[in-house]
Structure 1
Amino acid sequence: MTLNLTAQKRDVFGKQTKQLRKKGFVPAELYGRGIQNLHLSLSRQEFLKAFREAGENTIINVMIDGKPHPVLIYDVQRDSISGEFLNIDFYQFRADEEIELQVPIVFIGEAPAVKEKGAVLTKAMDQVEIRALPADIPHHLEVNLSVLTDIGQSVYVKDLPSGKFEILVSPGTVVVTASEVKVEEEAPVIDESAQIEGVAVETEEKKAERAQEKEAKESSSEGSTPKATK
């Protein structure tokens, strides 16, 4: 079932759209090949609901003056801090026009290499570019991780599900790998107190040796000194 989203034409632009957002609306643009661009506004809450369900690769009907416009959510701009919707681009397509777009990759299942052999998953891609007619665009492509039974195994683009669409990425591109966990060797811990104590003990021993050597020399000197004669 195609989602419907009601929008109104707007005549405010630039900084004035800030007031529009404060009232709970989001500015939007609708465009496509061979049609006139439309400047729109729509309810933030209604769009959020549709966006969560449809994402950026599902056909929805934008209703303008009661007339449906089949579109894709082509681009969504958000505030980098608050996450607030700033602007939305809708692309109105023709039914016979192929579209190039990114489709999410969804990972399902559990990799035996992770569960049984301690590997970690290295995900190289979370979306893939495809070309398809609007009616044939998949909502997402699934990757079943259960095929990764050993460390070092990978899933490639060529392993992704096929359909009435063309994947525009090299078949040999890695999607996900069961990687070996690299354990870094810890540097040996040096007991500084023992090291200092050893130095101190060695110093005392050296002092004792020097004292003995000095005493021996003095004794030797006294024995060899000629006695004074009267």
Structure 2
Amino acid sequence: MELSVQKREVFGRKVEELRKSGLVPAELYGRGIENLHLSVAVKDFNKIFKQAGENTMVDLVIDSATSKEKRPVLIYNVQNDPVTDQIASIDFYQVRLDERIKISVPLEFFGEAPAVKNKSGILVKTIQAVDVEALPDKIPHSIRVDLGRLSELDRGIAIKDLDIPPEVKILVDLENVVAIVKPPLSQEQEEALAQKPAVEEVKVETEEKKAARAAKTEEKTGEAQAAPTESKK
């Protein structure tokens, strides 16, 4: 997939005018290359970002006044405005096609666990992404997890059970469980959870006890100071 960008000559406060025209400032950097200041249309970027995310390689087409140049990149970082939540800036990282990189690939859960439907189990997703190493053009967009394989309680799906391309090296323990269906809570467990005081309640009670103790100490101190001193004969 390709994303067209333009070299940017606008900086500082003038960047705000750039945003008003539907463009976003961006930076391109990478090992051994000169950083480039760019701008990209928000509409075009959103379309590509929805497909690629931050772990799929994109061909960045840099349009200058004299030529067009294509660079293989990853969308490294997207910064949003804290008030409007609109995209404020973008970082692209240029990769080398002959050099393996380490990256986190999200897990994509799909299907319905029979153990949840038929045995009232509780689905627990223990991992949301997996660290891998691969060539930039071999990095999967996501790793799919079929929840339909969870037919029994307390039997999970481990990383070793996932369908992962052979050219992708997993950097974590293959025995790590990514999803499991736990047995439903018993009535006794539910009652115990219901009776367990909340952390805030305990904190409030503790603060009240401290305040009461301080008030009592202050009262005793006041009484001691007010008491008459017996004169020596």
Report the TM-score when normalising by structure 2. 0.74
Q: Deviations over 1:187-229 (max 9, x none)?
A: 79xxxxxxxxxxxxxxxxxxxxxxxxxxxxxxxxxxxxxxxxx
Q: Give yes or no for the alignment of 1:62 onto 2:65.
A: no
Q: Give yes or no for the alignment of 1:181 onto 2:184.
A: yes
Letter in 1 for 2:173: S
Partner of 2:43: 45
Q: 1:82 aligns with which of 76, 81, 84?
A: 84
Partner of 2:203: none
Q: Deviations over 1:56-75 (max 9, x none)?
A: 12221111131111111111
Report the TM-score when normalising by structure 1. 0.75
Q: Give yes or no for the alignment of 1:121 onto 2:123.
A: yes
Letter in 1 for 2:117: K
Letter in 2 for 1:185: E
Partner of 1:106: 108
- Once the two structures are TM-superposed, the CA of residue 14 in structure 1 deviates from its matched residue by 4.1
Runs of 4 or more above 4 Å deviation: none
Partner of 2:11: 13
Letter in 2 for 1:175: V
- Once the two structures are TM-superposed, the CA of residue 90 in structure 1 deviates from its matched residue by 1.0
Looking at structure 2, the residues matched to 27 and 63 of structure 1 have their Cα atoms a distance apart, in angstroms, of 15
- Once the two structures are TM-superposed, the CA of residue 13 in structure 1 deviates from its matched residue by 3.1
Q: Give yes or no for the alignment of 1:162 onto 2:164.
A: yes
Gaps of 5+ in 2: 196-233
Query: RMSD value over aligned CA atoms?
Result: 1.9
Q: Evaluate the alpha carbon distance shift between residue 24 and residue 115 of structure 1 in structure 2; reply closer, same or farther with a 3 A threshold.
A: same
- Once the two structures are TM-superposed, the CA of residue 127 in structure 1 deviates from its matched residue by 1.4
| Aligned length, in residue pairs | 186
Gaps of 5+ in 1: 189-230
Letter in 1 for 2:160: K
Q: Deviations over 1:76-115 (max 9, x none)?
A: 1123453311111111111111111111111122111011
Letter in 1 for 2:5: A
Looking at structure 1, the residues matched to 135 and 23 of structure 2 have their Cα atoms a distance apart, in angstroms, of 31
Looking at structure 1, the residues matched to 11 and 176 of structure 2 have their Cα atoms a distance apart, in angstroms, of 43
SS in 2 for 1:26: strand
Looking at structure 1, the residues matched to 35 and 119 of structure 2 have their Cα atoms a distance apart, in angstroms, of 56
Partner of 1:139: 141
Q: Quick one: percent identity of the two aligned structures?
A: 47
Conserved in 1, the CA contact under 8 Å of 2:56 and 2:137? Answer: no
Partner of 2:212: none
Partner of 1:22: 20
Looking at structure 2, the residues matched to 17 and 177 of structure 1 have their Cα atoms a distance apart, in angstroms, of 48
User: Which has the larger displacement, 100-109 or 37-46?
Assistant: 100-109
Looking at structure 2, the residues matched to 14 and 121 of structure 1 have their Cα atoms a distance apart, in angstroms, of 49
Conserved in 1, the CA contact under 8 Å of 2:27 and 2:92? Answer: yes
Larger radius of gyration: 1
1:185-204 matched pairs, under 5 angstroms: 185=191
Conserved in 1, the CA contact under 8 Å of 2:56 and 2:139? Answer: yes
SS in 2 for 1:185: helix
